[in-house]
Amino acid sequence: MTFLKPGDRMVCVRHIYPDAYRLFETLLKRWNIAVTYVDGADLTAVEAALPGAALFYIESPTSWMMQALDVAALAALARKHQVLSLIDNSWASPVFQQPIALGVDLVVHSASKYIGGHSDTVAGAVAGRAELLADIRSATCPYLGGKLSPFEAWLLLRGLRTLPVRMRAHEAAAITIAGRLGEHPHVTAVHHPGLGKRLPRGLHGTSGLFSFVLGGGVDIPAFCNQLRIFKLGVSWGGHESLVMPALVTRVQATGPNSAVDFAVPERVVRLHIGLEGVDALWDDLNAAIRAGLTRARS
């Protein structure tokens, strides 16, 4: 809202956060701002799309499909074509990825997630050069009320004190669960940036959020309903484990749908691995898969 005006064009990687996609496809288009979506891993396609753009919006890893991108290379292309770059860094948090050091101009966080860490506040943060933040502060914040109450700010400070410890715990548990799912006979794929892959430069660890694909013999609603530790929810990043099937987002009632438009497979299930303990979480998932199989056979 600060850096785009009617007639501008924005470049955006595919598989972004669904609500960001809805914002771009509704409000920005109402303002006559065009959006070009590209595969962020295809640097040739990215560079072809950048000339003449005003803003380059990045998310890494991407939503649902968890594609980890070469943020430094994307930022360099944006600088080459004098395009302002902006990244959502909520997944990695500042512990595992520091995009400004990689050349990105602006970094945004859903601070409700890992920075808060306890699922008890709604907040956001933006970081960047002083002159860019001054523009945001003068052009946008006064009209949208972008100000935290003192108590919410204190909750974020509390969360920051334990952020490095929590991130390493989420990472270790999620890697273990993802590895076990990868060997499960009723799981056909696991989308985790750190599972059997080399992380791109600048990404120094992985968080608790990833997705996997359940085989066709498992009834997904029955699987979700059987879970006892995992709760159905979207705002990950807290101490609790969450599950969200792509089926839910694919059937949303109104508005642009990123899961449909970016062809997220119907059998993808997203997990956030919390701090309840690996063995308990694994037993919960196994029991839920068995329940999904029983339901599918009945």
Q: What is the pLDDT of residues 126-178, one digit of tens each?
A: 999 999 999 999 988 888 877 889 999 999 999 999 999 999 999 999 999 99
User: What band does 284 get if pLDDT is binned at 50, 70 and 90?
Assistant: very high
Asked whether residue 253 carries a pLDDT value surpassing 70, the answer given is no
Q: pTM for the whole thing?
A: 0.94
User: What's the whole-number mean pLDDT along residues 95-116?
Assistant: 97
Under a CB-based contact definition with an 8 Å cutoff, are residues 234 and 213 in contact?
Answer: no
How much of the chain, in percent, has pLDDT values that exceed 90?
88
State pLDDT tens for residues 6-15: 999 999 999 9
In the chain, what are the domain boundaries?
9-150, 163-297
CATH of domain 9-150: 3.40.640.10
Q: Do domains 9-150 and 163-297 have the same CATH topology?
A: no
State pLDDT tens for residues 12-46: 999 999 999 999 999 999 999 999 999 999 999 99
User: What band does 2 get if pLDDT is binned at 50, 70 and 90?
Assistant: very high
Closest of 15, 65, 69 to residue 211, by C-alpha: 65
Cβ neighbours of residue 78 closer than 8 Å, sequence gap 6 or more: 50, 56, 84, 85, 103, 104, 105
Asked whether residue 294 carries a pLDDT value surpassing 70, the answer given is yes
The CATH fold assigned to 163-297 is Aspartate Aminotransferase, domain 1 (3.90.1150)
Report pLDDT for 170. 98
Least confident of 66-70, 86-90, 193-197: 193-197
Residue 212, strand partner residues: 190, 269
